[in-house]
């Protein structure tokens, strides 16, 4: 391991000195118009290095935004961060057990994605999924209760964060990279049914070298599926830096004949604009697109990872203090005269109160009953006449019927 660590600087030097690099500052967008009416859209200009492209044109740098939308995005990012911070505290209190992967620092990706798509579009991702589940129609209470293993959870307390779904969100999947071919399948269904909608299949840089990822790329391009493959490049796959695991760290170029777009994933305006561009690309019949968000996670890979054995505390602190997506949007709002510091503090308080209430309600929810272990296995109405349990004698017959207070120990 020491020898690998020593060669890392030479790996970094493989990138040609003349190569244009993406920048990840959260507050480099400039106001273009004089804002005279806060109820009307106005134009801002993104930093010229907000995007890099492969086999496609760059999105325009001039973007129209609105006050109300920017304030909503700010509130949503604050709320998602508060929710993840609450999960952190619950895990440390041993109320959440098992695996728990948080997305603190990556809020501009989940919120920017939601503001760039429609309710009819589809999203599927890996296990850093809590914000996506809420943004796609779930609830904070439902996510927290699921992490706690309570009945009020979005999967009735039986799935954990790797099995949370809504009608338009196909879950946070635990098998590394497996959500990518599933996402291609969802896009195939959309095309088959003639729907002018898009599927966004997200995966991390740590999953980018999976064979099934490239197989999905190939099929999607063969059939020109309306799928946007999204690499959330937060620089580290578990405890391994991108440079140590991938010979080509420009993930947006790795789709072969699939065009690609690299995006500043720390600027919420750039993120939303890129998603709108990608959605338009695939729904207009151009086939799939590969999009890479360059972002950063502040915590470890999971709650069991301190996140400081493979990177320095100074690196994390530098990202927090200089490139935080929430602070970047806060600066925009204040400098452009859209809201005062006090107005934003009020939104912060509202976000905290919303999450605090959801946590308390989730904690009050009971744990699943023993009989609940026999439900939600089959789609309602498709259950078999009976189902075996752990042993031959342990059999459950459908429909299940129990008297109040029944405890199941043997077959029915």
Do the domain assignments include residue 362? Answer: yes
Q: Are 216 and 184 in contact (CB under 8 A)?
A: yes
Q: Which burial class, exposed, middle or buried, applies to 366 when counting CB atoms under 10 A from its CB (0-12, 13-18, 19+)?
A: exposed
Residue 381 counted as domain residue = no
The span from the CA of 76 to the CA of 350, in Å, is 11
Query: Within a domain: residue 17?
Result: no
In eight-state DSSP terms, residue 60 is P
How many helices (H) and strands (E) the chain has is answered by: 12, 14
CA distances 182 to 40, 116, 133, 187, 202, Å, are 40, 22, 17, 9, 11
Residue 402 in domain: no
Residue 8 lies in a domain: no
DSSP 8-state symbol, 42:
E
Q: What are phi and psi of 9, to 5 degrees?
A: -60, -35
What is the rounded CA–CA span in Å between residue 407 and residue 410? 9
Task: Provide CB contacts within 8 A for 357, sequence distance 6+.
Answer: none
Name the domain count of the chain.
1
Is 49 part of a structural domain of the chain?
yes
What are the backbone angles phi and psi of residue 140, rounded to the nearest 5°? Answer: -65, -45
Closest CA to 29 of 261, 319, 266, 269: 269
What is the C-alpha separation between 412 and 397, in angstroms, rounded?
A: 7
Which residue range forms the structural domain that includes residue 129?
30-301+309-370
Tell me how far apart the alpha carbons of residues 70 and 65 are, in angstroms, rounded to a whole number: 7
Q: Are 79 and 355 in contact (CB under 8 A)?
A: yes
| 58: CB partners within 8 A, 6+ apart | 51, 52, 261
Structure-block tokens of residue 169: 């969100």
In angstroms, the CA 319 to CA 339 distance is 25
Q: Considering the domain boundaries, does residue 218 fall inside one?
A: yes
Question: How many residues are listed for the chain in this entry?
Answer: 412
Collapsing DSSP states into helix, strand and coil, what is residue 59? coil
Residue 136 is classified by DSSP as: T
pLDDT per residue as tens digits for the range 136-157: 999 999 999 999 999 999 999 9
Residue-level pLDDT, tens digit, the chain, 412 residues? 343 333 444 444 444 444 568 999 999 999 998 899 999 999 999 999 999 999 999 999 999 999 999 999 999 999 999 999 999 999 999 999 999 999 999 999 999 999 999 999 999 999 999 999 999 999 999 999 999 999 999 999 999 988 999 999 999 999 999 999 999 999 999 999 999 999 999 999 999 999 999 999 999 999 999 999 999 999 999 999 999 999 999 999 999 999 999 999 999 999 999 999 999 999 999 999 999 999 999 999 999 999 999 999 999 999 999 999 999 999 999 999 999 999 999 999 999 999 999 999 999 999 999 888 888 888 888 889 988 888 888 888 877 654 444 444 433 3
β-bridge partners, 237 = 240
Please provide the DSSP assignment of 360-405 as one string.
Answer: HHHHHSPPPPGGGGGSSSS-TT---SEEE-SSTT-EEESS----TT
CATH number of the structural domain spanning residue 117: 3.40.50.970
pLDDT in tens, 142-197: 999 999 999 999 999 999 988 999 999 999 999 999 999 999 999 999 999 999 99
Residue 89 in any domain: the answer is yes
3-class secondary-structure state, position 289: strand
């Amino acid at each position: 391991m020491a020898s690998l660590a020593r060669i890392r600087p030479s790996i970094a030097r493989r990138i040609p000195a003349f190569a244009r690099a993406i920048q990840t500052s959260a507050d480099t967008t400039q106001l273009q118009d004089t804002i005279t009416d806060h109820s009307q859209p106005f134009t801002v200009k993104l930093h010229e290095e907000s995007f890099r492209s492969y086999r496609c044109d760059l999105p325009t740098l001039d973007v129209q935004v609105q006050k109300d939308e920017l304030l909503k995005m700010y509130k949503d990012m604050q709320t998602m961060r508060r929710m993840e911070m609450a999960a952190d505290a619950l895990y440390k209190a041993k109320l959440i057990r098992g695996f728990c992967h948080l997305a603190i620092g990556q809020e501009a990706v989940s919120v920017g994605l939601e503001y760039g798509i429609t309710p009819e579009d589809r999203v599927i991702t890996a296990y850093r999924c809590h914000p996506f589940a809420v943004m796609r129609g779930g609830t904070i209470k439902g996510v927290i209760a699921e992490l706690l293993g309570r009945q009020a959870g979005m999967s009735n307390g039986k799935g954990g964060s790797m099995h949370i779904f809504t009608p338009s969100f196909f879950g946070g999947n635990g098998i590394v990279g497996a959500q990518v071919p599933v996402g291609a399948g969802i896009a195939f269904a959309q095309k088959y049914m003639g729907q002018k909608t898009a599927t966004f299949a997200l995966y991390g840089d740590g999953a980018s070298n999976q064979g099934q990822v490239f197989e999905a790329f190939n099929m999607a391009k063969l059939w020109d599926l309306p799928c946007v493959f999204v690499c959330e490049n937060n620089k580290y796959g578990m405890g391994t830096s991108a440079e140590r695991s991938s010979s080509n760290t420009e993930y947006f170029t790795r789709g072969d004949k699939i065009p690609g777009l690299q995006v500043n994933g720390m600027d919420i305006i750039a993120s939303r604009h890129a998603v709108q561009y990608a959605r338009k690309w695939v729904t207009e019949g151009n086939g799939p697109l590969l999009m890479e968000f360059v972002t950063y996670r502040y915590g470890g890979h999971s709650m069991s990872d301190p996140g400081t054995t493979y990177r320095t505390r100074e690196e994390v602190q530098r990202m927090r203090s200089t490139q935080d997506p929430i602070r970047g949007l806060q600066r925009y709002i204040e400098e452009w005269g859209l809201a005062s510091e006090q107005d934003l503090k009020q939104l912060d308080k509202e976000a905290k109160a919303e999450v605090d209430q959801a946590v308390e309600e989730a904690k009050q929810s009971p744990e699943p009953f023993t009989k609940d272990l026999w439900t939600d296995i089959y789609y309602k109405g498709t259950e078999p006449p009976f189902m075996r349990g752990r042993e031959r004698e342990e059999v459950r017959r459908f429909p299940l019927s129990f008297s109040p207070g029944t405890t199941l120990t043997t077959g029915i």
